[in-house]
Chain A
Amino acid sequence: MAEVRIEGLTKYFGDTCAVNQLNLVVRDGDLVVLLGPSGCGKTTTMRCVAGLERPTYGDIYIGETRVNDLEPRERDVALVFQSYALYPHFTAFDNIAYPLRLRKTPKDEIERRVRDVAEMLGITHTLERPPGLCSGGEQQRIALGRAIVREPVVFLMDEPLSNIDALLRVYMRAEIKRLQHELGTTMIYVTHDQVEGMTMADQIAVMNEGTLQQLGTPSEIYDMPANNFVARFVGSTPMNFIPGALQKENGKTVHKSDQFVIPVGDEMADRAAELCPGGVCTLGVRPEEIRFTMDEEGANQAGVFLLEPLGSETILDIEKEGLLLKVKDVAATQVREGDVLSLSFNRFHLFDDETGAAIR
């Protein structure tokens, strides 16, 4: 068990910069999710920690050891691959036993530990089979077992759930989280699925174009996105963005766009005046933070053009002068397509149009 410290990690492939000046500390025993779209450098970062890539610049520490120049086998780090990368010519048992055999573990101990791990993962019945004859979920567990059995100091997971079906995925992500808690081993988990990130992580590191956008707990990432990229990327119904500018109206600051006039609180207005003197900023609001009434007289009116019922809630697609908003209706009101609603904006964020950074 150990802390992982990444300092100024930069990785070039030829002229392409995959990771740029990344600083990240993964505390001992934490599950940190590297989250980002494909090509954001999250897998490269993880491969640098694993030792499969050499950093161009920067240092990686596992515990107190600088591991830059260590071979993967000298780092005591286990990696679960997206493809599982099982050895097809071995049985499941031999797959799991392989890391132990390489460490010259006594035979009876190998037998015991492999069986223990198999039992923990519920794959005892597959042990005599080659992976080709196991189901996707079983292969996944064999890959997990191979990582767990040797009790490494750090687990690395490279999108381990992207190849299994949706139902099993929901089950497995809880399973992996439980295992990690039980073993107490530091884990770096790479995914592009923000739901996986939100549900599993102690800390989420959101990455884009090789740079770290924000590091924080899932609720910090969700409630206080550092910039418009994080805001856009996290949340299963994406955040709404309303471009506009801040103006004074009757002594009060408002965010004025082509479609809406939204009053901005005094505190936020002060911060905005300081951080974004031009006042040109985009307002971001989560679908569940937009309130509405059927009142046809109120401010900020807009028409509903589509309903997306999800069972427990309904997404209202609202359109006004070319601007699309998604609004979450949790209360099962009787809104119908074509209705005109009056909107109010409960909690929202302002993002400086120039830098994309949140104003707070």
Chain B
Amino acid sequence: MAQTEARQTATTDTVPLPVEMAVQERRFNLRKLLVVVVLYLAAFWTLVPMYWVAISSIKSLRDLAHIPPRFFPTDPRLDAWVTIFERRILENVYNSLVVATLATIICLVISVPAAYAATRMRLPFKFVAIVVGLMGLVALLPPIASAIPLFLLGSDLGIIDEKYTLIILYTVLNTAFAVWVLRGTFMDVPMDVEEAALMDGDTRFGAVRRILLPLIFPSLFSIAILLFIFNWNEYIIALYFVNSMKTMTLPIAIQAQIPQHELDWGVVSAAGTIAVFPVLVAAFTLQRFLVRGLTFGVASGQ
């Protein structure tokens, strides 16, 4: 025993002994276990409602109305799904996809240069503060507050019930948010790296394209996914600006499944399941990009 102790003190600053490693590992595992348990609980907490919606879409009316609620359908059926496809839900999915995707792309095209200017150009501080502050105000405004004036403006211009109107509105409403988040991202990348590119013979635009954007790509991608989810789920603006099947996005379509009388929970649930699906795909893709660390090691010793 005394011998092992002596060896331990002799080797502490070189290689840990197997005993020490085992202790460390066990401690590590206990922490890991706790983390995993908490994560599973959180996942359970968020997934149960989704499961409930999905399962409700294949439940029979008896199961749906059963008290206490049934966690597993006793008599699964696809009636609701048939109904929802008959009601041309795929057209709504298409509308939502077009609107959400285009609004996301345009929003990024506008906000990336805006955020770049706000962080990199030596603009007077007051100017930046005022512009970004105003944009923040727009972001803080509840959508319902702007929906009615926007609707009046839109009907004057005669652009109600058009997909491009929704695209423009979503772009405008999200730009402030995107600029804010991107500004933080840009500020994380040291100015040095871009300046190095300029010194190496690159143009400003080239430095942004070849150095800055690849460095922040993970964040850029995450922001894109977030914007897409916002656009995909947007309800209030769409409620005012959608008048027909031509422009009807999914959230409005789901609401339209709720008639005045005789609510069919199965159909609503099926529509809800469809709406969740792309968001799920987005979240899974996003997860791989959430790993940061590319900018790690840009500047040593700082």
Contact = CB atoms under 8 A, between A and B. Distances in A.
Contacts of B197: 87, 98
B255 interface: no
Contacts of A72: 195, 198-199
Contact of A85 (B192, B214, B296): B192
B195 A85 contact: yes
A89 B192 CA distance: 15
Interface stretch (B51-59, B93-101, B200-208): B200-208
A52 B198 contact: yes
A146 interface: yes
Contacts of A71: 198, 203
B122 to A, nearest CB: 9
B295 A99 contact: no
Contacts of A77: 199
Contacts of B206: 102
B193 interface: yes
Contacts of B298: 83, 85-86, 88
A81 B301 contact: no
B294 A73 contact: no
Contacts of B299: 83-85
A102 B202 contact: yes
Residue of A81, A88, A102 most packed against chain B (CB within 10 A): A88
B190 interface: yes
Chain B residues touching A, range: 20 to 34
A47 B154 CA distance: 51
Nearest to B295: A88
Interface string B168-197: 000000000000000000000010110111
B294 A98 contact: no
A139 interface: yes
B270 interface: no
A132 interface: yes
A107 interface: no
A163 interface: yes
Nearest to A47: B195
A71 B295 CA distance: 26
Contact of B215 (A52, A89, A130, A133): A89
A150 B201 CA distance: 10
A88 B296 contact: yes
B283 to A, nearest CB: 25
Contacts of A88: 193, 215, 294-298
Contacts of A82: 192
A9 interface: no
Nearest to B198: A72
B302 interface: yes
Given A81-B196, A89-B214, A136 B201 contact: no
Given A83-B190, A85-B192, A88-B215, A132 B201 contact: no
A233 B201 CA distance: 36
B64 interface: no
Interface in B248-302: 294-302
A131 interface: yes
A87 B301 CA distance: 16
Interface of B: 190, 192-193, 195-203, 206, 211, 214-215, 294-302
| 9 nearest A-B pairs in the assembled complex, by CB-CB distance | A132-B297, A163-B301, A85-B192, A83-B299, A85-B196, A99-B200, A102-B201, A79-B199, A73-B201
22 contacts: A71-B203, A79-B196, A81-B196, A82-B192, A83-B190, A83-B302, A85-B190, A85-B192, A85-B195, A88-B215, A88-B295, A88-B298, A89-B214, A98-B200, A99-B200, A102-B202, A103-B201, A133-B297, A139-B300, A146-B200, A163-B301, A163-B302
